[in-house]
Amino acid sequence: MVNSILKCPVCGNEYDINRVKYTCDNCGNILDVIHPDMEYSLTKMKGVWKYKNMIHPAINQNDIITKMEGDTNLYRSSRISEFTGIKNISLKHEGENPTGSFKDRGMTVAVSEANRLKYKKTLCASTGNTSAAAASYSAFAGIESYVMIPEKNVSANKLFQAIAYGAKIVNIEGDFDNAMKSVKDVVSHSNNFYLLNSLNPWRIEGQKTIIYEIMEKESPDFISFPAGNLGNTSAFGKALMDLKSLGIINKIPRLVAIQAEGASPFYNYIKNKAENIIPVHAETVASAIKIGNPVNFKKARRAIEFTDGIVEKVSDDEILKSKVEIDRAGIGCEPASAAAVAGIKKLKDNGIIDKSDNVVSILTGNILKDVSIIPPYKELKLSEIL
């Protein structure tokens, strides 16, 4: 079995996977994991690791840390078809993963890698779903996890899982960008911590499996999803490149990355064909995509170009209206996830997607992840229902 390598997508420099690296020595870009001689052969394992030969072929079975993540369901609903105007739309529910979001798919691979490399500590900056997954998988592996949080703008609600799973919480002065900078400083000064932020290329490998699963069951014209730090955008493009180069698929579905209007630097970057992304001050109700300076923008552009993809933005109002429909359909999701469906409705209304197209939208997180936004409702008296 040939070992995987780390490769710079910009200058092509290569690095041994046993030399832990997140960015290129030569040009500073985030690295890719490449598997020479990759084969599309499935293992007997379940979920993400069914695709072991495409995500981490050389890892020893005993080093894998898994909670049987992946293998999530696709739902069809006449209510969602009516809402979007698309007859053939299905929703893939990533909220069904062990900690309630797709982040588990990346984390099982990254924490397995931490385990393979015999790390005793993991580190990430996050106040949301990344920290929940990092804390859970690290604890499950018997590895200590550290989560850096900015002192400002942190709700206990979002941090609850990380604390409950026993992560050590480190307070950082300033905002999320300061926390992210601290994390990078720590790993550049100390070899004791394994970094689990989106700079980690192994997370992308795990997240590719969302697309492998979809393509086994459907042949969509469009695949939509909310886009924040652009890890999924990057992973989905890479997965489709894998399947195309291995001859598993002929037709490539168009990726549809949806940003919130108040946090849409990638939308601007693609629309303006810009050289670099211009960071913005992010504001949106969809906290999981409230990101003003996404790290993965170059890999994400590659994904949009390869799939003739679309980047669209939707307002908070459109996101919340779409969430009500998904929730009332009995499916349910966290606010950011609803952007995936809101974007499809907008593109259908604008004539870019046709009512007869086959669409898969990815619901990235569980309805219980954010309970702060409750739609208005009326309490009934017992006498009123008789």
Nearest CA among 268, 290, 286 for reference residue 341: 286
For residue 110, the Cα-to-chain-centroid distance in whole angstroms is: 13
Unique residue bearing structure tokens 């499916």: 331
Helix axis angle for 129-141 and 156-164, nearest 10°, is 10
Q: Among Zn ion, ligand PLP, none, what does residue 24 contact (CB within 5–8 Å per kind)?
A: Zn ion
Residue 334 near ligand PLP by CB under 6 A: yes
Tell me whether residue 288 or residue 311 sits nearer to ligand PLP (CB atom): 288
Are the C-beta atoms of residues 207 and 232 closer than 8 Å to each other?
yes
Among the listed ranges 16-24, 155-163, 183-191, 222-230, the one in contact with ligand PLP (CB under 6 A) is 222-230
Q: Nearest approach, Cβ of 209 to ligand PLP (angstroms)?
A: 14
Edge-to-edge order in the sheet of strand 121-125:
168-172, 144-150, 121-125, 193-195
Q: Among Zn ion, ligand PLP, none, what does residue 26 contact (CB within 5–8 Å per kind)?
A: Zn ion
Q: What is the DSSP letter of 378?
A: -
Q: What is the C-alpha separation between 232 and 5, in angstroms, rounded? A: 21
Unique residue bearing structure tokens 């307002």: 315
Q: Among Zn ion, ligand PLP, none, what does residue 230 contact (CB within 5–8 Å per kind)?
A: ligand PLP
Among the listed ranges 71-79, 211-219, 319-327, 333-341, the one in contact with ligand PLP (CB under 6 A) is 333-341
Q: Among ligand PLP, Zn ion, none, what does residue 232 contact (CB within 5–8 Å per kind)?
A: ligand PLP
Are the C-beta atoms of residues 276 and 298 closer than 8 Å to each other?
no
Q: Nearest approach, Cβ of 291 to ligand PLP (angstroms)?
A: 7
What x-and-dash track marks residues 99-128 binding ligand PLP by CB under 6 A? --x-x-------------------------
Cα pseudo-dihedral 221, 227, 230, 236, rounded to 10: -20
Nearest CA among 65, 362, 99 for reference residue 235: 362
Question: Using alpha carbons only, what angle is made at residue 223 by residues 72 and 198, rounded to the nearest 5 degrees?
Answer: 70
Q: Nearest approach, Cβ of 168 to ligand PLP (angstroms)?
A: 22
What lies within 8 Å, CB to CB, of 288 at 6+ separation is: 101, 128, 129, 226, 228, 334, 335, 336, 337, 364, 365, 369
Residue 106 is encoded by which pair of tokens? 């990346």
Residue 14 near Zn ion by CB under 5 A: no
Give the residue, chosen from 26, 188, 219, 245, that forms a contact with Zn ion under the rule CB under 5 A: 26
Count of residues of this chain found to bind ligand PLP when the rule CB under 6 A is applied? 17
Residue 292 near ligand PLP by CB under 6 A: no
What x-and-dash track marks residues 112-151 binding Zn ion by CB under 5 A? ----------------------------------------
Residue 30 near Zn ion by CB under 5 A: no
Count of residues of this chain found to bind Zn ion when the rule CB under 5 A is applied? 8
Give the residue, chosen from 111, 196, 314, 336, that forms a contact with ligand PLP under the rule CB under 6 A: 336
Residue 25 near Zn ion by CB under 5 A: no
Nearest CA among 329, 295, 330, 297 for reference residue 311: 297
Give the residue, chosen from 3, 14, 16, 27, that forms a contact with Zn ion under the rule CB under 5 A: 27
Are the C-beta atoms of residues 80 and 341 closer than 8 Å to each other?
yes
Q: Nearest approach, Cβ of 201 to Zn ion (angstroms)?
A: 13
Give the footprint of ligand PLP on this chain (CB under 6 A).
101, 103, 129, 226-232, 288-289, 334, 336-337, 364-365
Give the footprint of Zn ion on this chain (CB under 5 A).
8, 10-11, 13, 24, 26-27, 29
